[in-house]
Chains A and B, each alone.
Chain A
Amino acid sequence: MGTVMLWYMKLLKGLASLRLTVGLLFWLAFMCIIGTIIPQYTFPSSSGSSVMTTIVRPLSLNDVFHSLWFLIPAVVLGLNAAACMYQRRKSFAGSGKFPVMPKAGLYGVTIPKENKQEKIGADLAGLIEGSYRIVRHESGSSLTIMGEKGKLRMYAPLLVHGSILIILLGVALGFLGYKGSIEIPVGQASDSVALSDGTLMHLPFQVRCEDFKVEYYDNGMPREYRSEISFSQAGGNIARASVMVNHPVSFKHVLFSQSGYNPNLIAVIRVGTPSGSEEIKATEGSVIEMHDTGYRMKVVKVVEDVMRLGPAVQLIIETPNDQKELWIFKQFERIQAIHPGITEKMPEFNPSILKPYTFTLDALTSSYTTILGINSDPGVPLVGLGAILFLFGVIIAFMVVHERIWVEIEEGSAGLMIHVARRLNGRPAAIDSRILKHLQRLAGGKS
């Protein structure tokens, strides 16, 4: 045998080792513990304490499950399962042949010559029959009868280890996909997905949020979140769907699930000038250019109730030379009546402080932005298949017992020599008491 072959055999034996399996399982468990102790995906690259900069980040412990510490053992576990399957191929290589009777754990008797081999064989086969499959094998002067049941158990390790490979393959395929979220205000469309790693990508179609509803129980707990969405491409609507928690929607191999929502308050602001007025609808963060004067209005806050004074909007008005803060209240007249002279004390409450404008908050309406989870994972079918096969494999491995009973009757000079052996899952096992008693009867009490 060549050196390369020897090296290959050694490597294969080492890879198929159960001790390696146990070591890898414990190592993966340890890495998982690290992954729950150290916060994951949270550290920006340019900041952090000395522990983070010297240990956590260089060792990728802030992203354990994508680090080599985790991925390499996972791959080796897959190779371990594959090597184990390869080693076990010997069990199936001769599956069409008659299984040779094991020499260890034999029970033997010799009975007088007058007994006929065929008759003794038929009697013993009768004792084994029932749920066993009986196979006869004649070789020279010996007759062997084998009863077998639970043969499916032989294939269980193959199924279990094969399914682990399928699951790992499915997980690996998942790396070709993407995960993220898309935020769409009601009435708007978007194709921009914020990916889990912080980058942005565009879907090859548009998703429009037609409506979003939150239903509540009487005690205020949320009952249901529902997004009505539509998909469109090249100007035409393709499909409509309702997305709810536990009821995701799949479109063009992308799974959309209800992940969250943001309530948006929309302020209806009237900007009055001596020549007329203009209505502006704005949400928090909106920036509006005021063309007449070149001023710019930034909506800082839209609040349903400020200090029990009712709905209000906080604005920053930027002029070419200055900027002014302004709070506009919907119930300004009521506030003035309750607190006369408030605009002198707090000029930022004065809606006409910035000439020539007068700001009024006409209304506050609410709207929602739905947040949909996006997942395109081509590995899901494989992972699902692997999981089902694994479960079947484990159930067969634990619940089914592979049993073989051999009875060998050999004609010898002293009489008929009968040997019996039994194996449970390949291990020697005690002989059935009925067979033992029968053999003892035949031998006249001698064995």
Chain B
Amino acid sequence: MNTVILASVTFIYLASFVVFLVGGITGRGSWGRSGRIIAIMGLLFHTVGLVMRWVESHQAGMGHAPLSNFYESLVFFSWAVCLFYLLYTLKDAKALIGVFMMGVAFLLMAYASFSPTVDTRIQPLIPALKSNWLIVHVITCFLGYAAFFMASSLGIISLMKKDSAEIQASVRDMLEKSLKAGFILFTLGIITGSVWAHFAWGRYWGWDPKETWALITWFIYASAIHVRVIDGSVSRRVAVITIIGLVSVLFTYFGVNYLPGLHSYQ
């Protein structure tokens, strides 16, 4: 049942994306507000789907948080992206940001729900994944990824929108906030991951490709924060570095699965 609800969320996010797209093209605020209402509906259904999956895993005698395989990580990632969009646009719907964020949320859900290579079944946990540190690690990492997605989307928007100083200031303020939120969450993700690795594999760091790419992502966003200090504000250079960071986030999540390592999703 949870997979049906979660698959339906894909279409709600698609609708939200399309409405935001129209809003972005026409520049009418009403479209942006409508897109946000649809996104809120989607997030509610999404949350219900996640909770139901958790309950169903208990009913199946496995009882674990829906954060243990590739499907569940895609679904949670999408949930986090939608959540971040809504948190950062409480006052103003901002259709253009909605286009980016809800577009990503839709694509993640579509990949999770309809790709034949993604197994949607609830699976029991292998011994290495039976840890409460896993829950904290995955939640913080994906919230961090989502915040970085937000920062990078805003970086792209700030490079696109050069016309209005007011919009630029607002976009750059949001970029800075999401960059900071992402950095805190992702740092927490790396730390909790290290604690988990210490218990699961007996060492806190092993230069596994996933660990290494997480560190690369961390280095890139740490650079963005330092360049922000050098330039005195969120400059064009900071925006460019956040976009480089986005490529690194994508590789940390998807690309590493093609490299041999302990984190490769099955």
The residues of A with any CB-CB pair to B shorter than 8 Å are 18-19, 21-22, 25-26, 28-29, 32-33, 35-36, 40, 65, 179, 217, 219, 221-225, 244-248, 255-259, 373-375, 377, 380, 383, 387-388, 390-391, 394-395, 398
Closest to A39 in B: B260
B130 near A246 with CB under 8 A, answer yes
Interface majority SS on B: helix, strand, loop or mixed? helix
B265 to chain A: which residues have CB within 8 Å? none
A281 to B185, CA, bound (A): 56
A375 touches B202 (CB 8 A): yes
**B22 at the binding interface (Cβ < 8 Å):** no
Within the assembled complex, what's the spacing in Å between the Cα atoms of A18 and B223?
9
Q: How far in angstroms is the closest Cβ of chain B from A82?
A: 16
List which B182-214 residues lie within 8 A (CB) of chain A. 183-184, 187-188, 191, 194, 196, 198-204, 207, 209, 212-213
Q: Contact between A245 and B184 (Cβ–Cβ < 8 Å)? A: no
Q: How many A-B residue pairs have CB under 8 A?
A: 105
Which residue of the partner chain B has the closest CB to A23? B223
- The CB with the most chain B CB atoms within 10 A, among A29, A256, A375, A398, is that of A29
Residue of A nearest to B188 (CB): A391
Q: Are A18 and B229 in contact (CB under 8 A)?
A: yes
Chain B residues within CB distance 8 Å of chain A = 123-124, 126-128, 130-131, 180-181, 183-184, 187-188, 191, 194, 196, 198-204, 207, 209, 212-213, 215-216, 219-220, 222-223, 226-227, 229-230, 248, 256, 259
- Give the chain A neighbours of B184 by CB distance below 8 A: 391, 394-395, 398
Q: Are A29 and B216 in contact, with the CB atoms below 8 A?
A: yes
Known: A26-B219, A394-B183. A383 touches B201 (CB 8 A): no
A25, B126: Cα distance in complex, Å: 36
In the assembly, what is the distance between CA of A217 and CA of B130, in Å?
14
Contact A28 B219 (CB under 8 A): yes
Contact partner of B124 (CB less than 8 A), chosen from A18, A217, A255, A391, is: A217
Given the contacts A246-B199, A373-B201, A387 and B191 also touching, CB distance less than 8 Å: yes
Known contacts A390-B187, A391-B187: does B226 contact A25 (CB below 8 Å)?
yes
Are A259 and B201 interface neighbours, CB within 8 A?
A: yes
Residues of A within 8 A of B128 (CB): 245-246
* Complex partner residue of B201 from A247, A257, A388, CB under 8 angstroms: A257
Q: How far is the CA of A374 from the CA of B200 in the complex (A)?
A: 12
Quote the shortest CB–CB distance from A380 to chain B (angstroms): 7
Q: List 22 A-B contacts (CB under 8 A).
A: A19-B230, A21-B226, A25-B220, A25-B222, A25-B226, A26-B223, A29-B215, A35-B212, A36-B256, A40-B207, A217-B124, A245-B130, A246-B127, A257-B199, A259-B201, A373-B202, A374-B202, A377-B203, A388-B191, A390-B187, A394-B184, A398-B183
- With A19-B230, A248-B202, A373-B201 known to touch, is A222 a contact of B216 (CB < 8 Å)? no
* Cβ 8 A contact of A225, one of B127, B191, B220, B226: B127
Chain B residues contacting A224 (CB-CB under 8 Å) are 127, 130
Query: A163 CB to closest chain B CB, in angstroms?
Result: 11
Task: Determine the residue in chain A with the shortest Cβ distance to B232.
Answer: A427
Residues of A within 8 Å of B220, CB to CB, are: 25-26, 29
- A380 near B127 with CB under 8 A, answer no
A22 touches B130 (CB 8 A): no
Residues of A within 8 A of B248 (CB): 29
